[in-house]
Structure 1
Amino acid sequence: MSDPLSTPDILHEEDGWRMRLARPADNARLCDLFREVDMSADLCLAEERDPDFFALHRAQSPQAYSVILEDSTQAGRPAFGCASILARDAWYGAEIRRVGYACDLRIEHGFRGARVFPTVIDKFMSFMQEHEGIDLMYSAVLSSNQRGRNALLNQHGKRAGQPVGQVMTPYHMTSIQFVGARMPSDPRVQRAEEADRAALVEFLAAQQKQRLFGYVVDDAWFQARLEQWPGMRLEDFFLLKNGDGRVLACAAPWDTAGHLRRSRVIKYQGKMQWLRLAYNAEARLRGFAKLPAPGDCFHFAYLTHLEVSNDQPALLDALLCGIYNALRDQPWHFMSLMVPMGSPLEAGLKRFRLQRIAMELLAFSNPRSSWHGRSLSTLRPGFEMALH
């Protein structure tokens, strides 16, 4: 595969703007783009990627590329947008194929409305086909973001010629709030020890192979996760094992705030002002963490490496209760997991207080792609929400 530093800088240029590969020197400009806030929302949040925009990419793939979009009509060519694609090997049935995960899409208001996006996605995907051998990519979007969905799924008019999108997996970004008493404990749920490593890796490998675009897992892959994910340790994995030591379910809570990404509250307005008052009143009475004040960050953990044998809801329930009990006395606001809509796993969440945000994984291909025209709908995608 190509070395990003050996590739040409400029991927596309036309009147008024250009697209080029981002380099380490662009770190501050990219972090600034991510701090921009939608002040029309009831909860105004800033996503922060300081001090290293590229660190989140390195946690997932050494073959990660970002482009920065620049306004050529102004002095200094100010950035007005960016996008990233991370290339990796993935399972497709019994085959290992090369796929890309697209993320970090930001385009300022003045350049929206199909002014640049169709060209950006087409040229960037063509570059990845040539340099990384991928001819399909997928991405996560908010279901409520109709403007963003239309931009990705609509190939008519000004968008004719951009890669064709399809819905791969509708899902809920599900947050379990730490607001109640301890849950019933299942003694089968324990933290992983060194003696569990081989069984854990074997379980992860088998589960991912069953997923559409699942990760290709072996011990070297697992060791890379421990080394490259800041703060991740073997003992952070919670395992549910049967009597003979076989792993039936697992997950590893992981906090990205210290090194990779933070969600900082800028302002509560509209209905969120009243919801915050009610929530914080209950927090004072029951002794759980209040919502962050403006200027502070949410404190939460992603449930990474979440796998449940045969998607059995009872196993998920037992695993989550064990993790909930282990974390509830710390100042967390919630723990977050991906649950596909229509999955049997939804039944394993009934005892918890939840907040759900509807999202979708969208897959893209172009007419040059071997995937073009195939349906990629699945309830079991290979997707790590902590890295989205």
Structure 2
Amino acid sequence: MDLDVLEHPLDEMVLYRSKNESNFAVRSATPADDEQLMKLSAETVPSNGITLSYERYPSYLAASQAQYNRPDLKVVVPIDNPSFVVAMMNLGWRYCYINGQADLMRYVADLRMHPEYRGGKVMRLLMDYVFDEIPQNTIFESVVLNANVVAANILHQERKGFPLPYYFDDIQTYTVSQAKKPKTFAHYRFKSLTQDAITAANGFILKMKDHYNFLPTYDFNGLLEGHHPFWKGMSLSDFFLIYNKDDQLVGLYGLWNQKSFKQTRVIDYSRPLKLMKPFYNVYANVRGVLSLPKVKGTFDYLMMHSPLCHPEDLEVFSSLIFHAKEQTKHRGKETYCVTLAENDPRIRWMKNTTSHILKAKHYFHSFSGNPYGKFDRKRISYFDVGRI
């Protein structure tokens, strides 16, 4: 008989304890934690006069499978009440191309703490766990909004016993309301992704890995399963292939409606915005730009998935951006979001859009010294806005 199984009927309930903290422990999350995780993950974040909450409803655990190939969620619990979650941190794996080769990257996200338990002890415990339980040569990746000062202070400052942070590049997320129609738009043909074109789409991804680092190892066959967790909320008809006059595949993108499992809710507006909001919404309705919802209401937009083409081909990219705006309107939405690294040449075209811009910083974290040498800086950092 396996005595270890008797002692720990659920491996997830095994507690990690540190000599630096006697009152709390770390364990893996379980389905029983889901309601608490949804509340913690909905932590408010200030952004340009709006206090936002990024919700994962009706299940945080299900939503995290669209963010990671293999989620690895750790929670902090009191020793005397291990079912009560006071903090969380996701350290899941992503399958991606690094320097053109299929590899793994651990992505740090959703670091949340219960307001009554915020402080150095809980954070130190999580970092002790990382130091003791994860191989020292692991490189972690993170993206933090510039406006999220709390998270930046935790993750992007050097702290004793923590993996050192290494700034890599800046990224910008555009919420696109209007897009200029390029003169060369008629040169391209857009076709909905169908089962018989999946091989071509997968082949195009293999070409793009030569230009973009951290590009997920997309396999569009997952869309055929209908309920594949990594493609949650998406179907073949959400994707478009772009062909040039010579019938060559030169680009692709998708539009992702995440409303069924991920929402951005307005908790409050600054006083100036409250006064201006009624007038702004009249303007927004006339211009067709993103309107401001009521307090406690949610924004209604689409996420752009895999906006890919050769990084120097602005004609294809500009047509992609315009076509996406047309499709967004066709689907009854006002706007869509797309994320680009600041060194992506295609970002130059975004001045031809009407967009709200959020800036963020992309970091790596390591116990083993500066990791820059492991990444080809000539390749452009790639981000799917729906998986950040």
Cross-structure match for 2:130 = 124
The normalised TM-score by structure 1 is 0.84
2:107 aligned counterpart, secondary structure: strand
In 1, distance between residues paired with 2:228 and 2:70? 17
In 1, distance between residues paired with 2:264 and 2:383? 21
C-alpha displacement of 1:66:
0.6
C-alpha displacement of 1:253:
0.8
Q: Which runs of structure 2 are paired with 1:37-48 in the superposition (5 Å)? A: 37=44, 42-48=49-55
Q: Which runs of structure 2 are paired with 1:201-212 in the superposition (5 Å)? A: 201-212=202-213
Cross-structure match for 1:303 = 304
C-alpha displacement of 1:221:
5.6
In 1, distance between residues paired with 2:302 and 2:249? 22
Are 1:101 and 2:98 counterparts? no
Contact 1:90 1:97 (C-alpha < 8 Å) held by counterparts: yes
C-alpha displacement of 1:223:
5.0
Give the letter for the 1:153 counterpart: H
Unpaired segments of 5 or more residues in structure 2?
1-9
Go from structure 1 to structure 2 and tell me whether the alpha carbon gap of 1:32 and 1:217 turns closer, same or farther (over 3 Å shift): closer
Give the letter for the 1:9 counterpart: V
Per-residue deviation, residues 89-132 of structure 1 (Å, max 9, x unmatched): 333325433321111111244544533324413423653439xx
Q: Which runs of structure 2 are paired with 1:284-295 in the superposition (5 Å)? A: 284-286=285-287, 290-295=291-296
In 2, distance between residues paired with 1:215 and 1:39? 29
In 1, distance between residues paired with 2:210 and 2:253? 17
Per-residue deviation, residues 153-197 of structure 1 (Å, max 9, x unmatched): 322xxx21211111122101111025x897775351413242432
C-alpha displacement of 1:47:
2.0
Give the letter for the 2:266 counterpart: V
C-alpha displacement of 1:217:
3.9
1:200 aligned counterpart, secondary structure: helix
C-alpha displacement of 1:35:
2.8
Are 1:55 and 2:58 counterparts? no
Give the letter for the 1:151 counterpart: I
Q: Which moved more, 1:19-28 or 1:197-206?
A: 197-206
Are 1:24 and 2:27 counterparts? no
Per-residue deviation, residues 282-315 of structure 1 (Å, max 9, x unmatched): 1344566642222321111110111121342232
In 2, distance between residues paired with 1:181 and 1:313? 13
Are 1:139 and 2:142 counterparts? yes
In 2, distance between residues paired with 1:44 and 1:277? 18
Contact 1:289 1:331 (C-alpha < 8 Å) held by counterparts: no
Unpaired segments of 5 or more residues in structure 1?
none
In 1, distance between residues paired with 2:78 and 2:361? 31
C-alpha displacement of 1:37:
2.9
In 1, distance between residues paired with 2:292 and 2:99? 44
Give the letter for the 2:142 counterpart: S
Contact 2:38 2:55 (C-alpha < 8 Å) held by counterparts: yes
Cross-structure match for 2:282 = 281
1:115 aligned counterpart, secondary structure: helix
Q: Which runs of structure 2 are paired with 1:217-236 in the superposition (5 Å)? A: 217-218=218-219, 220=221, 227-228=228-229, 229-236=231-238
Equivalent pairs, count: 373
In 1, distance between residues paired with 2:97 and 2:72? 21
Cross-structure match for 1:151 = 154
The normalised TM-score by structure 2 is 0.84
In 2, distance between residues paired with 1:278 and 1:376? 48
Contact 1:102 1:138 (C-alpha < 8 Å) held by counterparts: yes
Go from structure 1 to structure 2 and tell me whether the alpha carbon gap of 1:81 and 1:30 turns closer, same or farther (over 3 Å shift): same
1:87 paired residue among 89, 93, 106: 93
